[in-house]
Chain A
């Protein structure tokens, strides 16, 4: 087919559109000037300021804890859901179940957030748990939508899985549980790792849902960033963004390498 010049140029323009704002953000995080867009020399002072800001550090620590917990809960629930969807091809309410599992993927955040909050309030007045709102409610809320992402990732891995391996294990006398832990789990492990990482980054990133379900004294990092950014530009947010972008870039790189390595070297057509 004729290659032409149109596609490469369009792609180059598209990629520069995707990356130019991020690159400029990173560059200006090393800017000495308080006016974010006037360059006046290289400096690391915003990074220093960032690490002396107790509000930011506290929020960052809280967000990391929430993300780790939510991703771990979601890993278990999402894997179970994926196994159910892939292995039990037909069961009553399958369409409803798969629809409900994947709905949080596209549901506008404001709806999810408000719905979860109203649920928590109703639960508190009915059964007295979860008492009040704070870290626990944010963890539950994040685990809810992360489950959907884990489920999708694990599902795709499970569906190109050679089931004869499991049958072989069971023929050799392994119980279904033993088979799951000794055969199934190691094979889907790369999907579990990338599912967990996906949940972790999404939880770390969420502003809207956390704002709805958080309580006094439990402001997550995005909530602190949002209130700062709304009031105007603050160079220390640039520094923070650079750190986060660096970590995420490394994480995605690692996840991609794990996925590529683990893929059986099938002849790609």
Chain B
């Protein structure tokens, strides 16, 4: 199948040509008739698409959980920081969010490359260089790195509003800090957790830049499949069908996000 080999070829094949195909969709090549049902049926009968959707959801979900684990303590620390520190710390969280996304992903490649900063530091301790680039691991790091501010900000908003007397009450009643955290702080910050997780999960599902710069050729993500369908194969109808199916995947998370954001603001 021509498109599958095109997809599996290393990203450099389409890299030399950043300019999209400008032929109108009528002339787009269709191996099979590109009519409405066929394009969609193809999405389900072809293993590539199903695998890409499942793999995108898996990668996005794992990355979201890691982002939550990294971001929660940071948000909590900022919320509990002294007043004069808080705004500075918040600005430090927001700053990378404004710094070019593409350039931050590029900065990571310089960090994780075979002769990159991490491996050079490890080399000082006599550790063999690790292969990090072009793996799923690099994609996780990339998503966590670029989407961390989206997780921290809603978490901070809920955590900073928590009534501290609740912690005191819990401690007075004999709960250990961990117990207080698990049965008071965590449930009360749930809207922030949901909002932050959805803000990471939804865009991560359709992510294109991160898997194509950090992932390997076997890192299947639906955003990349769509891109290749469109730019490499110039199959516009199928790219549109892939996008429609992706929309269905993100509709439920978007609704969850809407409700959680309402709760974050109202509190």
- Chain A residues near B (Cβ < 8 Å): 1-4, 6-8, 10-11, 14-15, 17-22, 24-25, 28, 35-38, 99, 102-103, 106-111, 114-115, 118, 121, 125, 133, 198, 201, 204-205, 207-208, 211-212, 214-216, 219, 222-227, 229-231, 233, 237-238, 240-241, 244-245, 248-249, 251-253, 256, 260, 268
Question: Which B residue sits closest to A105, measured CB to CB?
Answer: B199
CA distance A4 to B148 in the complex (A): 24
Q: With A11-B77, A212-B230 given, is the CB distance from A237 to B106 under 8 Å?
A: yes
A residues less than 8 Å from B93 (CB atoms): 18
B residues less than 8 Å from A107 (CB atoms): 202-203, 206, 250
Q: What per-residue 1/0 map shows which CB atoms of B191-208 lie under 8 Å from chain A? A: 000000011001101111
CA distance A207 to B111 in the complex (A): 22
Q: With A1-B167, A121-B25 given, is the CB distance from A241 to B107 under 8 Å?
A: yes
Q: Is the CB of A109 within 8 A of B99?
A: no
Q: With A114-B240, A211-B20, A230-B12 given, is the CB distance from A15 to B92 under 8 Å?
A: yes
A residues less than 8 Å from B257 (CB atoms): 106
Q: With A110-B226, A111-B246 given, is the CB distance from A227 to B148 under 8 Å?
A: no
Query: Which of A25, A37, A233, A251 interacts with B98 by CB under 8 Å?
Result: A251
Q: What per-residue 1/0 map shows which CB atoms of B8-28 lie under 8 Å from chain A? A: 000110011011101011000
State how many angstroms separate the Cβ of B234 from the closest Cβ of chain A. 12
A residues less than 8 Å from B120 (CB atoms): 37
Q: Is the CB of B230 within 8 A of A248?
A: no
Q: Is the CB of B203 within 8 A of A245?
A: no
Main secondary structure of the interface of B (DSSP, over half): helix
A residues less than 8 Å from B127 (CB atoms): none
Q: With A20-B111, A211-B20, A227-B18 given, is the CB distance from A106 to B199 under 8 Å?
A: yes
Q: Is the CB of B77 within 8 A of A10?
A: yes
Task: List, sorted by A's number, 11 A–B pairs whose CB atoms are closer than 8 Å.
Answer: A7-B73, A10-B73, A17-B148, A21-B107, A21-B108, A35-B115, A133-B22, A226-B18, A245-B99, A252-B95, A256-B94
A residues less than 8 Å from B78 (CB atoms): 11
State how many angstroms separate the Cβ of B141 from the closest Cβ of chain A. 9
Q: Is the CB of B206 within 8 A of A204?
A: no
B residues less than 8 Å from A22 (CB atoms): 96, 99, 104, 107
CA distance A2 to B177 in the complex (A): 8
Q: Is the CB of B148 within 8 A of A14?
A: yes
Q: Is the CB of B177 within 8 A of A25?
A: no
Q: Is B76 an interface residue (CB 8 A)?
A: yes
Known: A108-B206, A252-B94. 8 other contacts (CB 8 A): A14-B74, A17-B148, A36-B110, A99-B258, A110-B208, A110-B246, A125-B24, A260-B87
Question: Which A residue sits closest to B113, measured CB to CB?
Answer: A37
CA distance A245 to B93 in the complex (A): 14
Closest 4 A/B residue pairs (Cβ)? A108-B206, A10-B73, A11-B77, A230-B15
Most buried by B among A22, A225, A238: A22
Q: Is B52 an interface residue (CB 8 A)?
A: no
Q: Is the CB of B117 within 8 A of A24?
A: yes
B residues less than 8 Å from A256 (CB atoms): 87, 91, 94
Q: Is the CB of A207 within 8 A of B74?
A: no
A residues less than 8 Å from B231 (CB atoms): 211
State how many angstroms separate the Cβ of B202 from the closest Cβ of chain A. 5
CA distance A269 to B240 in the complex (A): 50
A residues less than 8 Å from B243 (CB atoms): 110-111, 114-115
State how many angstroms separate the Cβ of A175 from the closest Cβ of chain B. 33
B residues less than 8 Å from A6 (CB atoms): 73
CA distance A208 to B106 in the complex (A): 15
Query: Which of B18, B20, B107, B240 interacts with A24 by CB under 8 Å?
Result: B107
